[in-house]
């Protein structure tokens, strides 16, 4: 299983990196530019600005613009099946929810109650969705939400599918994928880079230090900058 292929040490390291750094490090690990398994739109972040979500995806889809057509008892049972799915699976975990209403998303699935249920109740690390969130002043600390928008109402929001592949703003996610997310967006970490990602993070930091170190130390002439930048270009991916 995917969670068995990643070490606790790497998970801890990823929790101390922002998502742009991980995005760059994946390219270092792959030895080329062009990694594209990340969100392609600006999103809304509810949580500490420096917080990071790292976890294995628990997927589902919702809709809320129109009332559900299934009988109420079917909707209730599907909701409970959804909760059971979110409570299961490897940890760390996060909820990855596709709102099938897309840009017309109408009902907020994420608010104070669901954030408490998923975080304190199920032990998930956060949530990631193209749908809406609300209750911004009341969301529990320690459960960041990365959402497509903000709205006041739950509308007719209801669960449609559980555990299937989803897509959130151009990022395809399969249940069990390892996600890294913060206020910049989210990405899927490809399993093939797990064994070399820590070394890639080290190499990335070392290459950036070739430019950032001298600049942080004091004034740099253009000739010195040119020399440092040339070394940086040789070292980076």
One DSSP character per residue, 157-211 reads: -EEEEESS-EEETTEEE-TT-EEEEETTEEEEPPGGGGGGHHHHHHHHHHHHHHH
Q: Residue 126: CB partners within 8 Å, gap ≥ 6?
A: 47, 51, 53, 55, 94, 95, 119, 143, 144, 145, 146, 181
Residue 32 lies in a domain: no
The pLDDT, as a whole number, for residue 1 is: 62
**64 and 134 both lie in a single domain:** yes
**55 and 170 both lie in a single domain:** yes
Q: Residue 90: CB partners within 8 Å, gap ≥ 6?
A: 1, 2, 3, 56, 176
Residue 126 lies in a domain: yes
Q: Can you tell me the distance from the alpha carbon of 148 to that of 161, in angstroms, rounded to the nearest whole number?
A: 19
Residue 101 lies in a domain: yes
Give me 83's structure tokens: 């909760």
**106 and 54 both lie in a single domain:** yes
Residue 9 lies in a domain: no
Residue 7 lies in a domain: no
**126 and 218 both lie in a single domain:** no
**104 and 86 both lie in a single domain:** yes
Residue 218 lies in a domain: yes
Q: Can you tell me the distance from the alpha carbon of 177 to that of 165, in angstroms, rounded to the nearest whole number?
A: 10
**45 and 156 both lie in a single domain:** yes
**98 and 71 both lie in a single domain:** yes
The pLDDT, as a whole number, for residue 55 is: 98
Half-sphere exposure of 15 (CA within 13 A, CB side): 12
The pLDDT, as a whole number, for residue 138 is: 96
The pLDDT, as a whole number, for residue 225 is: 96
Residue 24 lies in a domain: no
Region of 66 (left: φ > 0; alpha: ψ -120 to 50; beta: rest) is: beta
**185 and 200 both lie in a single domain:** no
**146 and 206 both lie in a single domain:** no
Cα–Cα separations (whole angstroms), residue 74 to 17, 18, 41, 112: 42, 41, 34, 25
Decide the pairing of beta strands 44-46 and 145-147: antiparallel
Residue 29 lies in a domain: no
Which pTM does this prediction carry?
0.94
Three-state SS for 137?
coil
Tracing tokens 């996600």 back to the chain, one arrives at: 179
Question: In CATH, what number is assigned to the domain containing residue 177?
Answer: 3.50.30.40
- From first to last of its 237 residues, the chain has per-residue pLDDT tens of 677 789 999 999 999 999 999 999 999 999 999 999 999 999 999 999 999 999 999 999 999 999 999 999 999 999 999 999 999 999 999 999 999 999 999 999 999 999 999 999 999 999 999 999 999 999 999 999 999 999 999 999 999 999 999 999 999 999 999 999 999 999 999 999 999 999 999 999 999 999 999 999 999 999 999 999 999 999 987
The pLDDT, as a whole number, for residue 4 is: 74
Q: Can you tell me the distance from the alpha carbon of 127 to that of 96, in angstroms, rounded to the nearest whole number?
A: 6
Structural domain that includes position 217 = 196-235
The pLDDT, as a whole number, for residue 237 is: 72
């Amino acid at each position: 299983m995917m969670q068995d292929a990643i070490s606790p040490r790497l998970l801890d390291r990823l929790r101390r990196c922002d998502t742009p750094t991980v995005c760059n490090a994946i390219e270092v690990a792959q030895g080329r530019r062009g990694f594209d398994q990340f969100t392609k739109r600006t999103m809304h972040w509810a949580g500490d600005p420096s917080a990071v979500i790292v976890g294995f995806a628990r997927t589902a889809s919702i809709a809320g613009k129109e009332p559900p057509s299934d009988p109420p008892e079917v909707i209730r049972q599907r909701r409970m099946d959804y909760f059971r799915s979110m409570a299961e699976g490897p940890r760390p975990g996060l909820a990855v929810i596709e709102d099938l209403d897309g840009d017309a998303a109408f009902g907020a699935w994420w608010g104070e109650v669901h954030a408490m249920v998923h975080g304190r109740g199920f032990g998930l690390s956060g949530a990631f969705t193209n749908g809406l969130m609300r209750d911004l002043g009341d969301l529990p600390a320690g459960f960041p939400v990365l959402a497509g928008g903000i709205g006041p109402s739950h509308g007719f929001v209801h669960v449609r599918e559980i555990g299937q592949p989803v897509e959130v703003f151009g990022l395809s996610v399969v249940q069990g994928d390892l996600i890294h997310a913060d206020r910049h967006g989210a990405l899927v970490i490809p399993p093939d880079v797990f064994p070399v990602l820590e070394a890639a993070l080290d190499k990335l930091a070392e290459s950036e230090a070739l430019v950032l170190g001298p600049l942080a130390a004091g004034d740099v002439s253009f000739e010195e900058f040119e020399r440092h930048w040339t070394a940086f270009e040789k070292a980076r991916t």
